[in-house]
Amino acid sequence: MTAPLRLRLSHDALISNWKLLTKLSGSAACGAAVKANGYGLGAREVVKRLAVAGCRDFFVANWAEARAIADLGLSVSVLHGVRKEDMAVERPPNVRPVLNSQAQIGLWRVGGEGRACDVMVDTGMNRLGIAPGEIGSLDGLEVDTVMSHLASADEDVALNRRQRDVFAALAGMRPGARMSLANSAGIALGADYAFDVTRPGIALYGGRPRAEHAEIRQVVTPEAQIIQRRTVPAGEIVGYNGTFTAPRDMEVAILNIGYADGYLRCFSGRGTARVDGVAMPVIGRVSMDMVAIDVDAMPGLGEGDWVSLDYALPETAALSGLSQYELITGLGSRFDRVWSS
């Protein structure tokens, strides 16, 4: 049975975005961050589509996410590393931990069975990773990729260059290992940041963290069915707490979507729905499962019809005050995810 709300996902936009980021990555291989269930789009479908396009390196947060795509037979790196609990269960051979601490290095030495790993080096973000001076502690391990992460790549700040220079100084210290620094925003900083492998995330899915991403295309559009169409007399309220009062007799449609689905209360009186390019404003307060829109401009629209919600990530972030990352990963589990060209 289909759900009364869906995410319309564009295969062509996803692949176009990856190809653009591949071009911007220069000679570096362009991977894909597919953590948080492919930023909410569905990791398995994202991985399968990107793999056909040529992507070979995928990055997830934890081992549960890795196991969900491991059977696809591609290279998967677990960014949060490895825990004692992870060492106690079978680990797919195509999945590598990104070791972030001496404790994780110790776990992998004992139980890694000589298999390859990655390592995160902290170059100034102070989040995860070993210190640059601890790179020698990896002796005896088979390190596939040495990584670090930029703290402020979406801004033009001196920290970007400092982190890049610290990371570049590690080149050759793990012979044969690849080096990876740039995320979506880092790719746009130029060839000096690309190294051997880039790790885009948000830009794959339609986010534009820097002006250089102007050609990135929107991938996801929320759509919802109309539950009811009704006439609201002039002077009557719509929704909780009477935040909207009808200025005239008007036609209102109630949509099957709300903040439980990630269409948050910040869109109250500010969001826009569309059918055939016709804009219909959100009116009143967004509630848990329902949104009201003004449908005076669409006399033929009725119960069961579908409408789309404006959700281009950069513009929606500016409207809502939320980050592009929050907006896309917050889209909930009640959506059907429908891919189209």
**Given the residues 19, 23, 35, 325, the one annotated as active site:** 35
Helix (H, G, I), strand (E, B) or coil at 226: strand
> Does 259 qualify as catalytic in the annotation?
no
- Residue 97 per-residue DSSP state: E
C-beta of residue 82 within 8 angstroms of C-beta of residue 105: no
Q: Which helix (H) or strand (E) holds 16?
A: helix 11-24
Which are the contacts of 41, defined by CB distance < 8 A and separation ≥ 6?
A: 7, 9, 14, 205, 219, 220, 328, 337
CA angle, residues 33, 87, 31, in degrees to nearest 5: 15
Query: Of 199, 210, 244, 221, whose CA–CA distance to 5 is shortest?
Result: 221
- Cα→Cα distances 200→49, 188, 232, Å: 15, 10, 47
Helix (H, G, I), strand (E, B) or coil at 172: coil
> Does 240 qualify as catalytic in the annotation?
yes
Long-range contacts of 296-304 (CB under 8 A, 24+ apart): 296/250, 296/251, 299/251, 301/226, 301/229, 301/253, 301/275, 302/226, 302/229, 303/226, 303/227, 303/228, 303/229, 304/225, 304/226
What are the DSSP calls for 109-121, one per residue?
HHHSTT--EEEEB
**Given the residues 23, 39, 240, 325, the one annotated as active site:** 240
Residues acting as catalytic residues: 35, 240
